[in-house]
Structure 1
Amino acid sequence: MTEAVASGCPMHDNVDRRKSAKLAAKMTKPDGGAHWVKKPSVARAILRSPEALQAGAGAEMLNFENPEHMPVFFLDGADHRKKRTKTQKFLSPKAVSEQHHTIMREVTDELLAEFQRAGTAKLEDVSFQLAIEVVGEILGLTNSDQAGRAKRIQRVLYASIAQREGNFANRILKFQQAFHTGNFFLWDVLPAIKARKKAPKNDAISFYIEEGYSNMAIVVECLTYGAAGMLTTREFIVMTAWYLFEDLALRQRFLDGDSKEQINILLEILRLEPVAAMVHRRVNAEVEGLGEKPMPAGELYGIDIRAANVDEELVGECPFAVDPDRAQRQRDTGRYLSFADGPHNCPGWQVALHETRIFLEQLFKLPGVKLDREPDMSWNEGVKGYELRNAMISCDKSA
């Protein structure tokens, strides 16, 4: 009898099969000068603290003349709450079910029809195109050519999160960032702004215009939501698909389940394989639990999402098992720290989950669908998470 069975593990297996574990163990580390937080209780206390300020990802280097026009990701306190309340209408469960489900299904149908005609595809290309179109619809980036928009968005997002050492390399990087951002603005954002000024829609750019945002502030908003909603969702789709391709029983449970069951399965995979491994906060108050004495106010903390999400203190027994019933048994939502927590939890988590759910449900209904090549895995230091590339899928060709 194995230790897992003897301990009453509901899945009868507590083997660590996380695909990104080895790479993440090597690459996950906090920013310089930050305290490494792995204990879930301390992590949640920091994330939920009203004295915790967003840090990392350039948050402490941005300064906008009008705080109301600063991206919600970089705001704190009353300014953050006010902005989050205003913009949440585009990302709420109601918006997802009543407005975004339609575009998710339409784009999924288009992409999978194209996949069936070709009979083969790179999974990350399909998932990225889906993420671009869904987030683009939410933002209002719909007045430029689809293929060109995808390329420009990819270039500007990667340039915006890239990091290089050395003065000369940094100068080149800044030039590339400016060039790609300018291209993105001229070909994608500006046409959308002009169209919304003539005929506003129920999207973010129409809202930004109504609120008096400058063109630059609108570009920054689009890039902020783009990085969060496009880059990370692409990896999430590929990772969850990889699990379902390998585990036939889990895949069948996913296909047989209702939307709630499907979400539980996706959340369990994400718990084990969070796309963002670490987030940072600066806390203007004492923090207890990291040592014998409280840490003084003003310290920087790196919250290890991966470590917390496999800690029995947070997730219960057999933390390495893929257990879709875990959250219900614990009377938890199943999110754990996968989308962070507290005021700065991911605002678009509902969009990412349902977008992934709808796409995978349709993908796995295709005749003959299979994974021909497992993805290559690398690390993106800008988002502090894994990247999955060159996953080749195929299916029976349509007539």
Structure 2
Amino acid sequence: MELDGRDDRKTSFNNGAYDQPAFERISSKEIRIRGVDLARQILRGNGLRQAGFMADLANRFTRSSRAPVLFQEGEAHRKQRSATARFFAPKVVAVRYRQLMAEQSARIMRDFRSIGRADLDSMGMELSVAVTAEIVGLNDSGLPGLANRLNSFLADQQQPRVGKLAASLRMVVALCRMLRFFFCDVMPAIRSHRIEGREDIISHLIDQGYTREILTECITYGVAGVAATRELIVLAAWHLFDRPELRKRFLDSDEVGRIVVLEEILRLEPVVGTLYRRAERDIVLNDNGRPEDVSAGTLLAIDVRAVNADSAAAGVCPHRLDPDRQIQDHRLPRSLMSFGDGTHRCPGAAIALQETAIFLNQLFRVPGIRLARAPTISSNSIVESYELRGAVVTCFRASRVQTRVRARRSIVYDQ
């Protein structure tokens, strides 16, 4: 419950009532979770498997091969996460990818200043594709085309699924997109990496003996890396444009301080709205001292927005944007469950945060930067959260800035 009635959320189209139970049986086979302690039990527990991000469909297509790491469980998942940790650890990100993030951001800002107007989510998409392509190893094809192909996997998710014919057509379209991505991006990368190995995901998969599974892994890493970072960039920029004091704090801080601001924004409005797990056997959850039986086959839906607003973790006024917020449980990050928890916690968390911090630090130092049009909000059925599109930013064009600098210099010389 809000003590001061303040709610700083911008993407509030799917908010429910504040006082909802932490554990709610929707039906005999579905349970809704809104408490942070229950969420931790589920995400860190045994006897449950990934059930979100179209897991059932993915498992159907990978029965005769190795499933993508997102859908693996147990020892297979632990081994794969351990083997790929060298690509995502915070220290590795700072050393290996930071310069790329800074250079790509600077290039995007130069283009922006030369025109004086840009679409913010397109700028975020351009940056996230460049960084993701480097990490995964998809830089053997043109990046503009790669951006379109990755973005196509998230397209048309808001359209209703009506009738068998419509479902069949969707399946055909999805298959065509997958084949286009394979022939244009994945296959050239595999060929190149077989000739000369690199320090990226594709080379690692080749060394592990992966073949056709490389395609699904590239889709998993590529789409997740691009989509989440793009939304975070637009969301955080929107908050900073609307809050001058928050923007000043962001720009006056070092990178650690900037990431603190971003984590609080992400806690308030997580990019992924719901995490799903399915019980593989009967389990018992502890709801504040009260045992709750969960039968095998039950779907557990973790409402990340509600969990992140649980006062047991977020403290008082959980719907207020407060970078100085003290998280009650020291085991939890400032963003709480926004990147998940346990063995399936998003491996790219450090990348997304640093990428966004670098990009926004450069964006808000552009002379005359202004949000000319706020983004429109729509929903994304895959992650059950928001999509922010159509945000337009403007600035002084580079030629105008240079003219003003020359004018100032001439005034100084005349004096």
TM-score (norm: length of structure 1) = 0.90
Instruction: Determine the C-alpha separation between the residues in 2 that align with 1:161 and 1:207.
Output: 35
Partner of 2:49: 53
Cα offset for 1:161?
A: 9.7
Aligned ranges for residues 233-252 of structure 1 at < 5 Å?
233-252=229-248
Q: Which residue identity lines up with residue 375 of structure 1 in the other structure? A: P
Cα distance between partner residues in 2 of 1:248 and 1:375: 18
Aligned to 2:20: none
Asked whether 1:259 is paired with 2:255, we answer yes
Report the counterpart of residue 311 of structure 1 in structure 2.
Answer: 310
Show CA shifts across 1:255-308 (max 9, x none): 011111111100001111101111011233222329965223422210011011
The match for 2:178 is 181
> How far 1:23 moved relative to its partner?
3.4
Asked whether the 8 Å contact 1:91–1:351 carries over to 2, the reply is yes
**What does residue range 20-169 of structure 1 map to in structure 2 within 5 Å?**
20-25=11-16, 33-61=29-57, 62=59, 64=62, 69-158=66-155, 164-169=161-166
CA contact (8 A) 1:156 1:184 kept: no
- SS state of the match for residue 110, structure 2? helix
Q: Alignment RMSD, CA only?
A: 2.4
Provide the secondary structure at the position in 1 that maps to 2:386. Answer: strand
| 8 A Cα contact 2:315 2:326, kept in partner | no
Given the alignment of the two structures, is residue 271 of structure 1 paired with residue 267 of structure 2, yes or no? yes
Does the aligned pair in 2 maintain the 1:139–1:204 contact within 8 Å?
A: yes
> Residue 56 of structure 1: CA displacement?
2.2
1:289 maps to 2:280: no
CA radius of gyration, larger in: 2
Rounded Cα–Cα distance in structure 1 between residues aligned with 2:341 and 2:177: 32
> Aligned pair in 2 of structure 1 residues 370, 323: CA closer, same or farther (>3 Å)?
same
For the residues of structure 2 that align with 1:258 and 1:134, how far apart are their CA atoms? 22
Q: How does 1:301-340 map to 2 (within 5 A)?
A: 301-327=300-326, 331=330, 333-340=333-340
Q: 1:342 to 1:282 in 2, by over 3 A?
A: same
Q: Does the 8 Å CA contact 1:157/1:223 hold for their aligned counterparts? A: no
SS at match of 2:286: coil
Q: Distance in 2 between matches of 1:396 and 1:187?
A: 38
CA contact (8 A) 1:14 1:319 kept: no
Farther off after superposition, 362-371 or 99-108: 99-108
Equivalences, count: 385
Q: How high is the sequence identity, in percent, across the aligned residues?
A: 37
Q: Distance in 1 between matches of 2:154 and 2:305?
A: 24
Give 1:347 deviation, angstroms.
Answer: 1.1
Q: What is the rounded CA distance, in whole Å, between the counterparts of 1:268 and 1:46 in structure 2?
A: 23
Secondary structure class of the residue paired with 2:94: helix
Q: Residues 48, 161 of structure 1: CA spacing in aligned structure 2 closer, same or farther, 3 A cutoff?
A: farther
Partner residue, 1:344? 344
Residues in 1 aligned to 2:216 and 2:157: alpha-carbon distance in whole angstroms: 10
Instruction: Return the offset for 1:348.
Output: 0.8
Per-residue deviation, 1:329: 7.7
- In the TM superposition, residue 130 of structure 1 has moved relative to its aligned partner by 0.9
> In the alignment, is residue 378 of structure 1 matched against residue 369 of structure 2?
no
User: What amino acid maps onto 2:302 in structure 1?
Assistant: I
Corresponding residue to 1:16 among 7, 16, 32: 7
- 1:156 deviates by 3.3
Q: C-alpha separation between the residues in 1 aligned to 2:262 and 2:130?
A: 21
Instruction: Check conservation: 1:316, 1:330, Cα contact below 8 A.
Output: no
C-alpha separation between the residues in 2 aligned to 1:59 and 1:151?
A: 24
Post-superposition offset of 1:60: 3.4
Q: Which amino acid aligns with 1:288?
A: N
- Determine the C-alpha separation between the residues in 1 that align with 2:329 and 2:84: 31
Report if aligned partners of 1:159, 1:180 keep a CA contact under 8 Å in 2: no
Structure-2 separation of matches of 1:126 and 1:373: 15
Give the secondary-structure state (helix, strand or coil) at the position aligned to 2:306.
helix
Report the Cα distance in structure 1 between the residues aligned to 2:300 and 2:328, rounded to whole angstroms: 31
Gaps of 5+ in 1: 5-12
**1:296-345 Cα shifts (integer Å, max 9, x gaps):** 34222100110111121111122122211214786453121111111111
In the alignment, the residues of structure 1 paired with residue 386 and residue 81 of structure 2 have an alpha-carbon distance, to the nearest angstrom, of: 28
Deviations 1:111-151 (A, max 9, x none): 11111111000101010111111111100110111222211
Unaligned runs of 5+ in 2: 18-23, 400-415
Aligned counterpart, 1:387: 387
